[in-house]
Amino acid sequence: MDRSWPSFAADKREATKVFRRRKSTARILLSAFFIPLGIGFGGMSLLLLGLRLMPLPAGGSAMPTEIESADGTRIANWTTTGEAPQNVPLAKIPEPLIAATIAVEDQNFYHDHAISLKSTARALIVNLRHGGVVEGGSTITQQLAKNLYLSQDRTLSRKLREALFAIQLELHKSKDWILGRYLNVVYYGHGAYGVQAAAKLYFNKPVQDLDLAECAMLAGLPKGPSIYSPIDHFERAKQRQRVVLERMVATGYLTQAQAQAAAAETIHVAVHHTPVVTAPYFTDLAVREAKRVAHLSDADLDAGAVRIKTTLDPLLQRAAERAIASTLPSQSGIQAALVAMDPKTGAIRALVGGRDFRTSPFNRALAPRQPGSTFKAVVYSAALEHGWTPAKQVDSKLTTFVYGTSPADRYTVHDYADVYAGRPLTLREAIARSDNVYAVHTNLAIGPQNVVEMAHRLGISDQMKPYPSLALGVFPVSPVEMAGAYAALANGGLRVSPHVVDEIDTPEGRTVVDAPSERVLSSDVAFQMSDLMQSVLGDAGTGYGARPYLHAPAAAKTGTTDTDAWMVGYTPNLVCAVWVGYDSNRPLSVPESHLAAPIWGKFMGTAQAHMPGGWFTAPADLKAVRIDPLSGGVATPECRVAETDYFRPGTEPTEPCPLHSPSTPQQTKPKSGLFGWLRKLF
């Protein structure tokens, strides 16, 4: 016994140590479990209390892409229907659409809280496996939070904020409120936000009238609006519809027979939509330009939160549309295009691409057509640059030009209706009458390649050939290009870049459109052309039909081919190009060939009242000389007709008119009396 006691005591001491170690380990384990749990519980309680006390972010709403005019007026949302989102109370949304949405998006919506832990855990595993966010696992509440308060980027930080906003939503709002709001802001594709816009877009009916089959198809779209669009991918939409119907069966909303009947139903998808937007041709062009400049995709625009500030002047746009509608024959298929541009910046202030965008969205403002005699402004700009003066005379008569050594190198020029002046014309007279002989003579005299080069400098892109007929506008040019070319004459010789967008705001920042300009023409030549083209609106000018609508001076040029009628002109504040013709290139009748001038005149008259201003001031180095157009010499008191033209130093005429030079002072200027008055008159 004595020998065993020390061993027993040692064993007891060892057992006590083991017990104490185990007790300490248990205490540590319990502390490691309960302390973080308590901290987590306390932290979560504080977080929930803070989210409950904190108000929801102000102004939370879906933000579709917006398109604005230059003065900030909303032209349209980026939607196919062109309508702003419409809120529909949950009670008026069909029960099948509600059931289908819950079944396919969040079948435990009314039972779970803001976040589905099971779905979130599954999505987390998938995302960790792929090294990024590829699966959402979001509840309806989370999706609403994303639509109301967050961007569409797929990052872990955004998912965390989405979860917090979702919890806050459910602390502040009822499930019915959340579901109703979700159905009114969720994106269904093609720019349609909310069930009302989607119902009108896809089925051309209010949401209240949708049946089960249509509801199931609509409910399947938010997962992938571009993938399952019944407009673009009908078969995919049908497959997605069947998935939704099966989910409705699985959740007890439908029987299998009801689902099969709905799947077999014929769906009629709307194929024609009436855009309710201001300036649809302009708006369509603005969207395309914004996408190009800011590198946006349709998905970026669809995601919303994009603002496109355009150059449109709403008053001028209405004036353009009214001028065309009030001039073109109502029962005719003839079309028209109008482009109005700020010549200083290239900003397009109004644009009409046709009579009715709904029936013909083809934008004729961008379509190349033969410009006819409006191209003569390019020819004469090149001529003035190469030494011609306003006093230069060319005989107006039927002329055959020989421009080569081959017998085929002959070109006979006809004036309109073969009516010629039968005498030499000055440049001002040739422009007013739109004399073809003068234009072709000028083209060949200065070299057609110089005319082509001038056209390219002014912004005309067509690869023209140096033919004699070049002067008569036989190579196609679009109205936008013609407006841009004339802008250089109106702004003193600077080539500007026509554009319809000023700024683009996206969640990533702002893009300001760069509209550079460069000098392509001297200010002297630009002013000379502006002064000379006033004659087109004079009593003997081809644009006389536009003059009754104007309130101030303007410069312009008409142009007519067998199939096209044009008028292009400007004031210091605005340049406008008008084209009239048939899409089929059908020949114009005589009355139809004169429709461009009144359209141009009506619009420019409104523009002059809206944008009043003075006329151009001659550059200091130009010299004004009064000449007799019959001789091209300096006008004398005996000249019955005279014109004032501007000349660069050293190019002005100095000899008096030889036709009316008096032999004695008494013969040239009778002092008084009836005889003197008769001499002046005749």
Highest mean pLDDT among 47-56, 480-489, 658-667 belongs to 480-489
Confidence of residue 267 (pLDDT cuts 50, 70, 90): very high
C-alpha 181/C-alpha 98 separation (Å) is 12
Summarize the confidence of residues 493-520 as an average pLDDT: 93
Per-residue model confidence (pLDDT) at position 312? 96
- Helix 156-172 and helix 175-185: axis angle, to 10°? 130
Q: What is the mean predicted confidence (pLDDT) over 339-343?
A: 98
383, 386, 389, 394: CA torsion to nearest 10 = -50
Does the active-site annotation cover 663?
A: no
Indicate left, alpha or beta for 53 from its phi (over 0: left) and psi (-120 to 50: alpha): alpha
- The pLDDT value recorded for residue 380 is 98
Contact 533, 377 (CB under 8 A): yes
In contact, 350 and 313? CB cutoff 8 Å:
yes
Tell me how far CA of residue 129 lies from CA of 122, 125, 574, in angstroms. 11, 6, 60
Given a cut of 80, is residue 522 above it in pLDDT?
yes
State yes or no: pLDDT of 40 exceeds 60: no
Mean pLDDT on 69-89: 70
Q: Would you state the pLDDT for residue 657?
A: 93
pLDDT at 677: 38
Q: What is the C-alpha to C-alpha distance for residues 27 and 34, in angstroms, rounded to an integer?
A: 10
Q: Which of 58, 80, 76, 56 is nearest to 68 (CA)?
A: 76
User: What's the pLDDT at 664?
Assistant: 34
pLDDT value of position 7:
55
pLDDT, greater one: 473 or 167: 473
pLDDT of residue 505 exceeding 70, the answer is: yes
Selecting among 105, 481, 592, 652, the annotated active-site residue is 105
> Residue 682 — pLDDT band, cuts 50, 70, 90?
very low
Cβ neighbourhood burial of 612 (10 Å; 0-12, 13-18, 19+): exposed
Nearest residue to 365 via CA among 352, 349, 347, 350 = 352
- Range in 38-47, 106-115, 140-149, 437-446 the model is least confident about: 38-47
Mean per-residue pLDDT, 372-394:
97
Q: What is the percent of the chain where pLDDT is above 70?
A: 78
Q: pLDDT (tens digit, 9 = 90+) per residue, 228-240?
A: 999 889 999 999 9
**CA 307, 308, 309, 310: dihedral to nearest 10 degrees?**
-160
Predicted local confidence at residue 16, as pLDDT: 59
Taking a C-beta distance cutoff of 8 angstroms, is the pair 486, 568 a contact? yes
Does the reported pTM lie above 0.85?
no
- Considering only CA atoms, which of 238, 229, 244 is closest in space to residue 189? 229
Q: How confident is the model at residue 174 (pLDDT cuts 50, 70, 90)?
A: confident
- Weakest-pLDDT range from 204-218, 601-615, 651-665: 651-665
Q: For 565, list phi and psi in degrees, rounded to 5.
A: -125, 130
Tell me the pLDDT of the chain averaged across its residues. Answer: 84
pLDDT at 57: 60
pLDDT of residue 185: 84
Question: What does the longest C-alpha to C-alpha distance in the chain come to?
Answer: 172
Please tell me the predicted confidence (pLDDT) of residue 151. Answer: 54
* 483 or 277, greater pLDDT: 483
pLDDT higher than threshold 90 for residue 156:
no
373 is a catalytic site residue: yes
Is residue 361 scored above 70 in pLDDT? yes
In the chain, pLDDT over 90 holds for what percent of residues? 61
CA 265 – CA 642 distance, rounded (Å): 82
Residue 24 has pLDDT above 50, yes or no: yes
Local confidence band at 66 (pLDDT 50, 70, 90 cut-offs): confident
- Give the residue, 55 or 474, on which the prediction is more confident: 474
Strands 424-425 and 74-77, how do they pair? Answer: unpaired
pLDDT at position 171: 78
155 three-state secondary structure: coil
What's the half-sphere exposure (Cβ side, CA atoms, 13 Å) at 142? 23
Q: Is the pLDDT of residue 261 over 90?
A: yes
Considering 119, 373, 530, 631, which one is annotated as catalytic? 373
User: Higher pLDDT residue, 158 or 387?
Assistant: 387
Report which residue type is found at 216: A
Which residue did the predictor score with more confidence, 188 or 271?
188
Higher pLDDT, 472 or 150: 472
pLDDT band at residue 79, thresholds of 50, 70 and 90? Answer: low
* 3-class DSSP assignment, residue 263: helix
Which whole-number Å values give the CA distances from 276 to 61, 77, 83, 365, in the listed order? Answer: 22, 10, 6, 21
Rg (CA), the chain: 39
Describe the crossing of helices 195-203 and 175-185 by its angle, rounded to 10 degrees.
40
Q: What is the pLDDT of residue 123?
A: 54
Q: Which of 112-121, 146-155, 396-405 has the highest mean pLDDT?
A: 396-405
Which residues touch 659 (CB under 8 Å, ≥6 apart)? Answer: 628, 630, 631, 633, 639
